[in-house]
Amino acid sequence: MRKIDLNDFQVATSETARDINRRIVLNLIRKHQPVSRAELSRQSGLQRSTVSAITEDLISERWVKEGALGFLPRGRKPVHLHINEERAGIIGINIRPSGTTLALAALDTRFLARDTMPTSDNPQAFLRELNRRISKLRKSHPQVNCEGIGIALPGRVDPKSGRLIFAPNLGWDAVDLKEPIERATGLPVQLENAANACALAELWSGRHDESVRNLVAVTVSEGIGVGLILNGQLISGASGLAGEFGHVTLDTDGPPCQCGNRGCWEVCGSNSAAVRYYAQAHSSGKTSRLASTLVFDDLLQLARRGDPKANAALDRMAHFLGAGLAMLVGGLAPDAIVVIGEVTGAWDSVGPIVERTLKERLGSRAVTPIIPSRPDLELRLRGTITLVLQKHFGAPSLG
Ligand SMILES: [Zn+2]
């Protein structure tokens, strides 16, 4: 049972009912396409006339297209419906301290074009360059009518003001990204924490059983982000700060963190932590200079070639990654945890250490599957597209 919020509610009108039914039909078409109106009526339990009225609206708004794809006995041809992938394009922007990726995607989340740019320390300079790149991307596909922009950030966004409020790894103070981009592009902008966007994309991608309603996404990169979907709903918490497990202390004597604390999960179990462990193992001589310029991808390559110090650094990171995941499994008991980041490329060696740590800490309660996301799925970037799509396909907000 969900308690009704008496400060923010909307009574049901016939329009609310129509909106809910429309979203159900749109999602059924997406899932079962190509699908006939009769099948939609069976799947939804709605009357044929209601389904017909809804699909007429969806066709006139170009969300749905008709096509004769199936045959019935006695030569009758049913008209099948499918999502109109060409209706609009979506611009997705994945911001990381190490660089920013922009992409133009179709409604089926297929990427049509992409671009990359450095992430400046100065948010104003960054915004100017970003707006220039967005305009260039749109010009590269002038036939695509853009619907909106989704942005994934390594930080938390206040859902009320839309301002970025906590982003220790970017080093930006509270900044409004939404309004300047909307003003420059004329398109609506959806901003979200990268791990939240990944969690939504996972739910959206349909890789999981329909019964999966409690899903946690963990982004492992320069820091560690957590996105929580519980009972099918993204959890924002007070001021949008829910999910900051990356800044929960795991080791009170641990190294200082960008957030001002010590021994946070992310200073022990992120990519940056592994690189630091490796540099510490080369604390003197020529190799120490080498280690100080190394990035996580280099470390993965060294580990793959059998470098013992690189493997030791990766093992230590894996142990702390497991320790933090044990906190999530023990505290939330989700249906699944999806791990996103370069580290999944080394899951053959990292995964067993993570599993061992979970077993050590939780014993028989370590039942949640830990699923490494395939790097080629580019879940962070895909998540930015989902942010825009869920406006049309997600459940309506009823307070
Ligand atoms: Zn911290």
Pair 191, 155 in one domain? yes
Residue 205 located in a structural domain: no
Q: How far is ligand 1, taken at its centre, from the CA of residue 258, in Å?
A: 6
Pair 243, 158 in one domain? no
Residue 6 located in a structural domain: no
Q: How far is ligand 1, taken at its centre, from the CA of residue 265, in Å?
A: 7
Q: How far is ligand 1, taken at its centre, from the CA of residue 153, in Å?
A: 16
pLDDT digits (tens, 9 = 90+) for 147-199: 999 999 998 988 888 888 888 888 888 889 999 999 999 999 999 999 999 99
Residue 1 located in a structural domain: no
Pair 73, 121 in one domain? no
Q: State percent of the chain over pLDDT 70.
A: 93
Question: What is the model's pLDDT at position 286?
Answer: 57
Pair 326, 315 in one domain? yes
Label the pairing between strands 189-193 and 233-234. Answer: unpaired
- 106-112: long-range contacts (C-beta < 8 A, 24 or more apart)? 106/144, 107/83, 107/389, 108/83, 109/382, 109/385, 109/386, 109/389, 110/85, 111/381, 112/141, 112/144
Domain's final residue, options 83, 114, 139: 83
Q: How far is ligand 1, taken at its centre, from the CA of residue 284, in Å?
A: 28
pTM of the full predicted structure?
A: 0.86
Pair 119, 139 in one domain? yes
Domain's final residue, options 83, 110, 138: 83
pLDDT digits (tens, 9 = 90+) for 12-31: 788 888 888 998 998 899 88
Q: How far is ligand 1, taken at its centre, from the CA of residue 199, in Å?
A: 22
- Domains identified in the chain, total number: 3
Residue 339 located in a structural domain: yes
Question: What is the model's pLDDT at position 113?
Answer: 94
Residue 326 located in a structural domain: yes
* Domain encompassing residue 103: 89-200+380-393
Pair 230, 357 in one domain? yes
Residue 9 located in a structural domain: no
* Mean pLDDT for all residues in the chain: 89
Span 321-342, average pLDDT:
96
Residue 155 located in a structural domain: yes
Is 398 in contact with 17 (CB distance < 8 Å)?
A: no
Question: What is the model's pLDDT at position 399?
Answer: 36
**Residue 25 exposed, middle or buried by CB count within 10 Å (0-12, 13-18, 19+):** buried
Q: How far is ligand 1, taken at its centre, from the CA of residue 169, in Å?
A: 9
Q: Give residue 398's pLDDT band: very low, low, confident or very high (50, 70, 90).
A: very low
Q: Give residue 74's pLDDT band: very low, low, confident or very high (50, 70, 90).
A: low
Q: How far is ligand 1, taken at its centre, from the CA of residue 126, in Å?
A: 24
Pair 221, 282 in one domain? yes
pLDDT digits (tens, 9 = 90+) for 198-242: 999 988 776 777 788 999 999 999 999 999 999 988 998 888 899
CATH number at residue 104: 3.30.420.40
The phi, psi pair for 128, rounded to 5°, reads -60, -45
Q: How far is ligand 1, taken at its centre, from the CA of residue 358, in Å?
A: 22
Q: How far is ligand 1, taken at its centre, from the CA of residue 377, in Å?
A: 28
Domain's final residue, options 65, 83, 101: 83
Pair 99, 79 in one domain? no
Q: How far is ligand 1, taken at its centre, from the CA of residue 220, in Å?
A: 14
Q: How far is ligand 1, taken at its centre, from the CA of residue 347, in Å?
A: 25
Residue 340 located in a structural domain: yes
Q: How far is ligand 1, taken at its centre, from the CA of residue 342, in Å?
A: 21
In the predicted structure, residue 72 carries a pLDDT above the cut 80: no
In DSSP notation, 352-369 reads: HHHHHHHHHHHGGG--S-
List strands edge to edge, sheet with 99-106: 111-117, 99-106, 89-96, 146-153, 189-193
Pair 372, 229 in one domain? yes
Q: Give residue 41's pLDDT band: very low, low, confident or very high (50, 70, 90).
A: very high
Pair 370, 264 in one domain? yes
CA distance 117 to 246: 26
CATH number at residue 68: 1.10.10.10
Pair 36, 102 in one domain? no
Pair 190, 253 in one domain? no
